[in-house]
Amino acid sequence: MKNRMKKLLALAFASVMTFSFTACGVGGEQNKDNNGATPAPAATTVSATDESVAQVPVADGKHYTIGICQLVQHEALDAATQGFKDEIVEELGEENVTFVEQNASGESAQCSVICTGFVSNKVDLILANATPALQAATASTGDIPVLGTSITEYGVALSIDDFNGTVGGNVSGTSDLAPLDKQADMVVELFPEAKNVGILYCSAEANSVYQADTVKAALEEKGLKVTVYTFADSNDVSSVTQKACDENDVLYIPTDNTAASCTEAINNVALPAKTPIVAGEEGIVKGCGVATLSINYYDLGRTTGKMAVKILTGQSDISTMPVEYFENPVKKYNPEICTELGVEIPEDYVAIEE
């Protein structure tokens, strides 16, 4: 089935096939942003299924076609995509933009297929949501503007030595990096008696390695014993989580796309083991954690959308646009899991709402 799907995707970008039109949203209905506000109406969205793959419409005049490559469906990435689309529709008008959304279902190789198709069909701009999508997009084109979002560290993602904040060329975007030293402080603040901390992440994600190394060093400076546990993909998440829970007082999970898509499996192990988890982003905490110092991914997406509008309308040159960061991360906690584990939360934390 996988080979057949790849073949269909490749063929679709070379010939006109049936359009599949959907309402605005990624991976299901999303009527509200993370702050409870109703998003702007969406422009036409062309999406591909495994049975019919949409041919990308070519931009004409002031009508813009934007390709969106999202690594995997989960709450944080979905919110970033939605915010991006809402901002562009609000500024350009829904009649002037077509979004071509495709989800790689967690497969980096599929990101390359998707982005190559966007380039072949001469989209006006590519949104690359998550690091493997960004890597695929930059490898596919040096001409079409590429904006990343939900990228932790661009220097790591794109192998740029001495990264100074501006990628240059045809690439820029937004970062979802929250202060890692403050996340390490959060572990100590909430669990002052902890002596052993396990860091859990997917070994295939370069930005997770960067975060894990940084947090590990910060925790070791505080006198804690830190052990790293990695899983290759979703197939060994449960077994690796079990080992980490058996050997540690608390776990830390960085902003990791694979972990974010496997929170149920992680929670099914960690909660019975009574092992609390501090994480790098809200979506992971909502599924299996106790607390986070988190950004708002919907707002991050809107910031990326503002950048896209400036590029498309000629107001800004992407080669000189620095990567933008979320400025005010918030301490948040999961009331249900905290109650289950008996974790006391300080007053300056905000409860994550269902």
Query: In this structure, are residues 188 and 341 in contact, taking their beta carbons and an 8 Å threshold?
Result: no
- Rounded to whole angstroms, how far apart are CA atoms 10 and 15? 9
Beta carbons within 10 angstroms of residue 303's beta carbon: 21
Token pair of 335 as six digits: 């009331």
Whether 92 and 69 map to the same domain: the answer is yes
pLDDT at 12 exceeding the cut of 60: no
Query: In this structure, are residues 150 and 130 in contact, taking their beta carbons and an 8 Å threshold?
Result: yes
* Closest to 314 (Cα-Cα) out of 136, 92, 115: 92
- Rounded to whole angstroms, how far apart are CA atoms 80 and 78? 6
Q: Global pTM?
A: 0.74
- Structurally, the chain folds into a number of domains equal to 2
Could you report the per-residue pLDDT of 141-165, keeping only the tens digit for each?
Answer: 999 999 999 999 999 999 999 999 9
- Rounded to whole angstroms, how far apart are CA atoms 89 and 103? 21
Query: Which residue do the tokens 């949104």 mark?
Result: 127
- Rounded to whole angstroms, how far apart are CA atoms 40 and 341? 39
CATH of the domain at 83: 3.40.50.2300
Higher pLDDT, 74 or 104: 104
Whether 154 and 21 map to the same domain: the answer is yes
For the chain, how long is the longest CA-to-CA vector? 63
Query: Residue 45 has what pLDDT?
Result: 60
- Rounded to whole angstroms, how far apart are CA atoms 290 and 251? 10
Whether 144 and 229 map to the same domain: the answer is no
* Closest to 226 (Cα-Cα) out of 190, 254, 198: 198
Residue type, 184: A
pLDDT at 299 exceeding the cut of 60: yes
Whether 14 and 153 map to the same domain: the answer is yes
- Rounded to whole angstroms, how far apart are CA atoms 256 and 244? 17
Which of 60-64, 179-183, 326-330 is the least confident region? 60-64
State percent of the chain over pLDDT 70: 82
- Rounded to whole angstroms, how far apart are CA atoms 86 and 52? 26
pLDDT band for 301, please (50, 70, 90 cuts). very high
Q: Using the 8-state DSSP alphabet, how is residue 262 labeled?
A: T
Whether 206 and 106 map to the same domain: the answer is no
SS3 99: strand
Query: In this structure, are residues 92 and 312 in contact, taking their beta carbons and an 8 Å threshold?
Result: yes
Could you report the per-residue pLDDT of 189-215, keeping only the tens digit for each?
Answer: 999 999 999 999 999 888 899 999 999
Angle between helices 297-312 and 75-92 (to 10 degrees): 40
Query: Residue 44 has what pLDDT?
Result: 55
* ∠ CA 23-256-342, rounded to 5°: 100
pLDDT band for 47, please (50, 70, 90 cuts). low
Whether 201 and 148 map to the same domain: the answer is no
Token pair of 234 as six digits: 């979703």
Whether 270 and 345 map to the same domain: the answer is yes
Q: Using the 8-state DSSP alphabet, how is residue 73 labeled?
A: -
Whether 221 and 166 map to the same domain: the answer is no
Whether 199 and 337 map to the same domain: the answer is yes
Whether 270 and 316 map to the same domain: the answer is no
- Rounded to whole angstroms, how far apart are CA atoms 204 and 134? 15
Domain span at 169: 2-176+297-322
* Closest to 251 (Cα-Cα) out of 298, 300, 284, 203: 284
* Closest to 351 (Cα-Cα) out of 306, 302, 305, 292: 292
Q: Using the 8-state DSSP alphabet, how is residue 36 labeled?
A: S
Query: Residue 46 has what pLDDT?
Result: 58
Whether 222 and 286 map to the same domain: the answer is yes
Residue type, 84: F
Which CA distances in Å does 8 have to 12, 15, 49, 121, 179?
6, 11, 10, 16, 42
Query: Which residue do the tokens 């790689």 mark?
Result: 104
Overall size of the chain counted in residues: 354
Whether 277 and 346 map to the same domain: the answer is yes
Mean per-residue pLDDT for 228-251? 95
- Rounded to whole angstroms, how far apart are CA atoms 9 and 172? 27
